[in-house]
Structure 1
Amino acid sequence: MNNHGKTSFVLILILIMMINCLFITMATLRVGFYKESCPSAESIIQQIVRQKFLTKRSVTPALLRMHYHDCFIRGCDASILLDSTSKNQAEKAAAANSGIQEYQLIDLIKARLEQICPKTVSCADIIALATRDAVALASGPNYDVPTGRRDGLISRSNEVNLPGPTSSVSDARKAFEAHGLTLNDMVVLLGAHTVGTTHCSFIKDRLLNFKNSGAPNSAMEQGLVKKLKKICGSKFNVDRTVFLDQNTSFIVDNMYYKEIVKRQGVLKIDQVIAQAKQTSKLVAILAADNSLFGEQFAKTLVKLGTLQVMEGNNGEIRRNCRMVNN
């Protein structure tokens, strides 16, 4: 082979390598990603989540919250699972993430999968799949989850910035749109409050002294005010928790929307989406049709799960969800 032929051959090899690298980097999530590499992955996750759900039904809101809080910071990369170190305060340490539960459940699932399929199933995919299973167990929709996420290497508490329970529709909308989610997505994802709880300290002003008026928030139905005052106590010296859905508290359904259209929203953000011009119509539609809510909730959870995912040769597959690989 002459020099020209050798040069051409080398260029072709380089081109092939570049195409291969591009293919790996641009790999896309797909349903059944582990069909060949770990066929039992999804059934193992489902089994362990089911066992937990049978003894602790609050696993559903816990996993929904974990999934949302993870995806909203650095994308769905399981950065929320990383523990802090002496040199770094991880996302777990942020005030907005206090009270998140079921880290141990993810640990249990990961340990089992490492026994069956070492270094194969990502922690990020475990969160997404476990959330799907927990939603279905709570009588919510059963939907397919595209997988193939990889785990992130960075987790910083100072990056945690989430819309809070007292956010306005405008502020919450900006936060969601910054992540590629629409106003409608926001309203649908707030439907997770159908199985959620909040601390009395977050609603104290709504019950006792709304906007320094010395009275409860007049926008809140007074029967609910009395009920919540009884649960929380008048002095709030113990920060108790209350259900955001006062009727079907452990069932994923559209009761949350039915309540907020009746001025029975517990958090400020719950109530304002039922009143704001730009969101009230969708709230009313979801309140009237449970099947539609289930369909939209599933679609929006899948969309949430695709935010800024790491794929291909990016990130890693952690062996322990609490720390990056050595």
Structure 2
Amino acid sequence: MAATLAFTLLLLSTISCLANALSSNYYDHTCPRLEYTVNSAVKKAMMNDKTVPAALLRMHFHDCFIRGCDASVLLESKGKNKAEKDAPPNISLHAFYVIDNAKKAVETQCPGVVSCADILSLAARDAVALSGGPTWEVPKGRKDGKISKASDTRQLPGPTFNISQLQQSFSQRGLSMEDLVALSGGHTLGFAHCSSFQNRIHNFNASLDTDPSIHPSFAASLRSVCPFRNKVRNAGASLDSTTTSFDNAYYKLLLQGKSIFSSDQALLTNPKTKALVSKFASNQNEFENAFVKSMIKMSNISGGGQEIRLDCKVVR
């Protein structure tokens, strides 16, 4: 308990220091076309692959929750060290090439100036905006980290987490219950593999095969695509009914018993988070405003980076 408290206090202190250091106009003079260049890379990738926005948003989240927002999730495994991207929770991450392409384009304009961590933060913002969601000024000035360990991914909040586990995971990173509910709204984009929600549709407990909180017809549809002990590669379900559009459909479906993860359903087990779900379901502007605020807050989690990588996959 003492170690956890010390870690939390250190992290909160680091967040506060970094928030003062980052600036939305950090590259105005040193790399003035940065945002246009990153946006172009994201837009081009989206033309060929509709899953890119969800991938970039999830990548940014997984980066910030491990060692802070330092682009450690982009590093390749080397020698005996297994990097974050090769750990089980991150095996399904993809679209790293979008960040690589953006970095290469930026390097031709501003060599050695812009961090991979800042490019990833910008790409996640653009992924949301280009999917019909809000846009915002991204604070910049992060440095890239030199450490990436697969074992650290055990700290990521999992799809089977209950509300207490979620709250602890977020609070250790300086994020509130409102941040938890708002950032969960990122599930409006994306896809879940069967393994992430099998626990809700098969052998739920000793007496029930299916989680009773799931709407019966929705549970049946999930079982049809994910039969027991399914071995079909890449089988799964969309996280909401408008999987390529950034909107508040996720919250509406959650209230109808049509959520995918146990961690989604968990938001309805606490009065405060349930009230926020209802508010965001009934008012998309409220959701978007809260999401922007929480994304900026999350992207301020320091990774203690020390360099500007020339190649996002390897340290200098």
Give yes or no for the alignment of 1:257 onto 2:251: yes
Corresponding residue for 2:69?
76
**C-alpha displacement of 1:27:** 6.6
**Aligned-partner Cα distance in 2 for 1:176–1:148:** 23
Give yes or no for the alignment of 1:319 onto 2:310: yes
Matches within 5 A, 1:133-172: 133-160=126-153, 161-172=155-166
Which amino acid in the other structure matches residue 147 of structure 2? I
Corresponding residue for 1:97?
90
Corresponding residue for 2:5?
none
**C-alpha displacement of 1:263:** 1.0
SS of residue paired to 1:198: strand
Which amino acid in the other structure matches residue 155 of structure 1? S
Which amino acid in the other structure matches residue 82 of structure 2? Q
Corresponding residue for 1:61?
54
Instruction: Write out per-residue CA displacement over residues 23-42 of structure 1, whole angstroms, 9 at most, x where no aligned residue.
Output: x9997111121110011111
Which amino acid in the other structure matches residue 242 of structure 1? A
Which amino acid in the other structure matches residue 90 of structure 1? A
Give yes or no for the alignment of 1:174 onto 2:165: no
Unaligned runs of 5+ in 1: 1-23
**Aligned-partner Cα distance in 2 for 1:159–1:234:** 30
SS of residue paired to 1:131: helix
Rg larger for = 1
**Aligned-partner Cα distance in 2 for 1:285–1:278:** 11
**Aligned-partner Cα distance in 1 for 2:161–2:82:** 26
Corresponding residue for 1:297?
291
Unaligned runs of 5+ in 2: 1-16
Which amino acid in the other structure matches residue 324 of structure 1? V
Corresponding residue for 1:8?
none
Corresponding residue for 1:29?
22
Q: Which of the residues 185, 192, 196 maps onto 1:198?
A: 192
TM-score by length of 2: 0.90
Which amino acid in the other structure matches residue 205 of structure 1? N
Give yes or no for the alignment of 1:288 onto 2:276: no
Aligned sequence identity (%)? 38
Corresponding residue for 1:187?
181
8 A Cα contact 2:162 2:266, kept in partner: yes
**C-alpha displacement of 1:63:** 0.6
**Aligned-partner Cα distance in 2 for 1:297–1:278:** 17
8 A Cα contact 2:18 2:300, kept in partner: no
TM-score by length of 1: 0.88
Give yes or no for the alignment of 1:108 onto 2:101: yes
RMSD, aligned α-carbons:
1.7
Kindly tell me the number of residue pairs found equivalent between the two proteins: 298
Which amino acid in the other structure matches residue 316 of structure 1? E
**C-alpha displacement of 1:235:** 5.1
1:88/1:27 CA distance change after superposition, 3 Å: same
